[in-house]
Chain A
């Protein structure tokens, strides 16, 4: 064991004060004790046929989205519920958005007349597409520029076209998107359209 005198002598040779995480005195221990990361991909593995009976069991399908407690008798009613309730469809124009936040933006910017009045009054009303960013802009164009400059978003960020004042007619919108025929709900009016020419590599 180290004696008190030895300890004091040792301590006298060590500087006192805050140590930044980048200090090289931590390098060796970091190397030794922090687990190494290994890159992993994902492969879908075929199920053994005996797993099929799962479907014949009377399992009820409950929805595991936080805050939702509904149960369903079969997979298709669960899927229908999920699509309707959790895919964030606008109740006014039936457009899908991928998150609750973007749906909120869509509804106020597209369908809220009070929002429109405040925009006309010159208030900065257009919220950033990132929920955590609290900036508000005067126009959709300014927001687009903000997202490109501040957050390096794609110039043709698809969900942008579902917010802000519609500058395109709906026929242009539906022309711009080509939903594969085998996808569900093709009969509904959908608009994950992307601007023309967006398929070109920039």
Chain B
């Protein structure tokens, strides 16, 4: 794509947005190249990679982690180059992470670089922590202990590299350690993560990737049954739930968050605006997804069914609201058609959840139920009794 210099004035049109994204990429490349030149580091673009995985074009330089630790401890300072070497060594081999994790007095040096004023050094220190977070629970807990408050603070940092690394580190840590998850919740990470997640002002551009990274952290935190959110976290989610748009990045996780934070519960007191927004989200997911293969569809469909099932028992007249909205020109469909569509996926676990939903749609006095036309339902035969017993 050619970037016409005159196009800089036009910032609203779609093509200008693309041009802007292109230029942002170009700029990021140049910025990181600049750091590389300035700091004589051999490195540039960041690639995400698992522990011990090899990547093309990257030669692993054997780094003596122990002598590097001794050196940076003595100087109470680590250069960008040293931080990069450490980061590489951690990614390469878990033994290096363990050596670092056991060393005394070396975390404060990394933390000091993390809070330095040199952005290049800050980023290198973050990369170091990111690869350290590939380690086991004790190392992750040490990261939280020494750097947790900065990780939480930097979620608001305007530098996108730093912010993104924060999100990556937090997700690795909460995946690894219950204790670290408890502490990151206590440090107030959840409201900040939620703010990043719902920030959808931008059209599709790189900034939106933050929403997916934040979604990843939130998902791991919310699915952790041991660690509960604080009341203020739930309140924050409740008050800011309507800010997420159903077509923005990471929106497939939205109803999962609503479900696992129990926003819809027997005592919940949702405002009309909250109910309308939530139901539109649910109906959008119910209507727009015709397959059950992609992760996106699975999450959207499964959680729309779960939320709906709870909604109709928790909200007075909830079922009528849903049926009316589905009939409206926005969707022009019926609940029976939707349920049949999902049954036709022939997924036994999804079908069990649909049975749970039907339980809530069809009340005791079945013959009198005018809302759901049972004769229209096409329910595949699975051994539901066995499946129900298993679950």
Q: Which residues of A contact B (CB under 8 A)?
A: 1-2, 4, 7-8, 10-11, 13-14, 16-22, 24-30, 32-35, 37-47, 51-52, 54-55, 57-62, 64-66, 69, 71, 75, 78-79, 86-87, 96, 98-102, 129-133, 147, 150-154, 157-159, 178-180, 182-185, 190, 192, 194, 198-201
Contact partner, B157, options A17, A99, A194, Cβ 8 Å = A99
Contacting residues, chain B, for A41 (C-beta < 8 A): 48-51, 87, 90-91, 130-131, 133-134, 172
Question: CA of A19 to CA of B106 in the docked complex: distance in angstroms?
Answer: 48
Residue among B127, B149, B152 with max Cβ neighbours from chain A (10 Å): B149
A78 with B378, Cβ < 8 A, contacts A11-B355, A43-B88 known: no
Residues of A contacting B30 with CB < 8 Å? 54-55, 59, 61, 75
Task: Answer yes or no: B178 CB below 8 A from chain A CBs.
Answer: no
- A-B interface pairs (CB < 8 A), number: 289
Q: Is the CB of B156 within 8 A of A7?
A: no
Contact digits for B75-102, partner A, Cβ 8 Å, 1 yes 0 no: 0110100001001101100000000000
Evaluate whether A132 and B236 lie within 8 angstroms (CB atoms) in the complex, with A21-B262, A43-B91, A180-B79 already known: yes
Give the shortest distance, in Å, between B295 (CB) and chain A (any CB).
Answer: 5
Inter-chain contact A4/B374, CB cutoff 8 Å? yes
Checking A7, A45, A130, A157 against B47 with a beta-carbon cut-off of 8 angstroms, the contacting residue is A45
* Residue tally, chain B, CB below 8 Å to A: 126
The segment from B18-26, B277-285, B329-337 found at the interface with A is B18-26
List of B residues within 8 angstroms of A26 by Cβ:
306, 353, 391
Please give, as numbers and ranges, the residues of chain B lying within 8 Å of A20 by CB-CB distance.
262
Query: B366 within 8 Å of A by Cβ?
Result: yes
Q: Is the CB of B388 within 8 A of A75?
A: no
CB A99 to nearest CB in B, in angstroms, measures 4
A18 x B91 contact (CB < 8 A): no
Q: For chain B residues 343-358, which have a beta carbon within 8 Å of chain A?
A: 349-350, 352-353, 355-356, 358
B55, B159, B207: the one contacting A43 at CB < 8 Å is B55
| B residues apposed to A, CB below 8 Å | 3, 5, 8, 11, 20, 23-24, 26-27, 29-34, 36, 41-51, 55, 57-58, 76-77, 79, 84, 87-88, 90-91, 104-105, 107-109, 112, 115-118, 121, 127, 130-131, 133-134, 146, 148-150, 152-154, 156-160, 165, 168, 171-172, 175-176, 183, 186-188, 191-192, 201-202, 207, 216, 219-220, 223, 225, 232, 236, 256, 259-260, 262, 265-266, 295, 298-299, 302, 306, 309-310, 313-314, 349-350, 352-353, 355-356, 358-360, 362, 366, 374-375, 377-381, 384-385, 388, 390-391
CB of B359 to closest CB in A, whole Å: 5
Residues of B within 8 A of A100 (CB): 156
